[in-house]
Amino acid sequence: MAKTIKNKTVIILCIIFAVIILLVSTAFIGTCVRKNWAPWQPNYEKVDITPTLNKTTLTEEDYDLLYRQTGLTKLGIDGFMKNKNISAILEIQKYFFQSQDVYFKDFAPFMGYMLRSDNSTVPHAILENGDILFSPSTFLSFIELGHCSMVINVNTETLIQSSGYDSPSNTTSTSNIFVRPTFIVLRANADKNTRNAVSTYAKNNLIGLKYDLLAGIFESKAPTTLKRTHCSHIVWYAYNHFGIDIDGNGGKIVTPHDMISSKNLSIVQVFGIDVDKYA
């Protein structure tokens, strides 16, 4: 009997060991595979959009052309056109069609994010307080996790973010997103005063919180006092405090990708990501 129990224990330990080896090997292989990843770039012709931008009034067809040439939606284009800043749109178009060299920066075992090799920032849409910056370029092995943050001071281009286990939620520059080869700028479908209030609330109440990837799963997704959070949850929590749910599927955990499908958010700009996904 004792020998039988000992044999079963050995078998169980061998199975556990084999599973661990398999998981580590898979993660390692995935880390190598992801290095072949490349950001999307247009496979169609770059055209002169200056005549379109010089029009007095833009049609839906014009906005569609400009979106496919710059990644800027109507919100993004109109932000520049208020001051007839055509040169800024043309600069964004130039970057939109450029090929990009990227490299991975690891920050934890099998985890890393992509940066532009020359470490230059990409020209972007005119931002407003409360805007959400999303980049799919954060990976666990080959799994695309993504990362998001929110603008809390448009004048200094300051973001609030919850970036990882080694640091509490903090502030950072928008350049931390715009140096990445892929990003989407999102804006809540709410008036400007509300979006300003959301960003002020986040700035005053949501800095210094512990990181918790499982926030909302084993406890309330929206506790009265928030103590633990992660990158997408902190942005969701700030908007939810004002009655705006930006979780696209309404699950117990909100991910950066959930926000893309939210009916309460609109896209302002797409870069390095297939525009047809969001057209």
Supply the pTM of this predicted model. 0.85
Structural domain contains residue 160: yes
What is the C-alpha separation between 184 and 63, in angstroms, rounded? 18
Pairing of strands 138-140, 143-144: antiparallel
pLDDT of res. 212: 85
Structural domain contains residue 55: no
Structural domain contains residue 19: no
Structural domain contains residue 188: yes
Query: What CATH code is carried by the domain that includes residue 191?
Result: 3.90.1720.10
Q: Tell me the mean pLDDT in the region 253-277.
A: 91
Which domain, by its residues, includes 237? 37-42+95-277
Number of domains in the chain: 1
DSSP label at 36? Answer: G
The identity of residue 216, as a single letter, is G
Tokens of 276: 């047809």
- Choose between 31 and 84: higher pLDDT: 84
Structural domain contains residue 253: yes
Q: Which residues have C-beta within 8 Å of that of residue 29, sequence separation ≥ 6?
A: none
pLDDT of res. 219: 85
Structural domain contains residue 126: yes
Asked whether the predicted pLDDT for residue 35 surpasses 60, the reply is no
Structural domain contains residue 13: no
In residues, how long is the chain? 279
Structural domain contains residue 150: yes
Q: Tell me the mean pLDDT in the region 36-49.
A: 86
What is the C-alpha separation between 251 and 235, in angstroms, rounded? 15
What is the C-alpha separation between 54 and 229, in angstroms, rounded? 46
Estimate the crossing angle of helix 74-81 against helix 60-70, to 10 degrees.
90
The identity of residue 76, as a single letter, is G
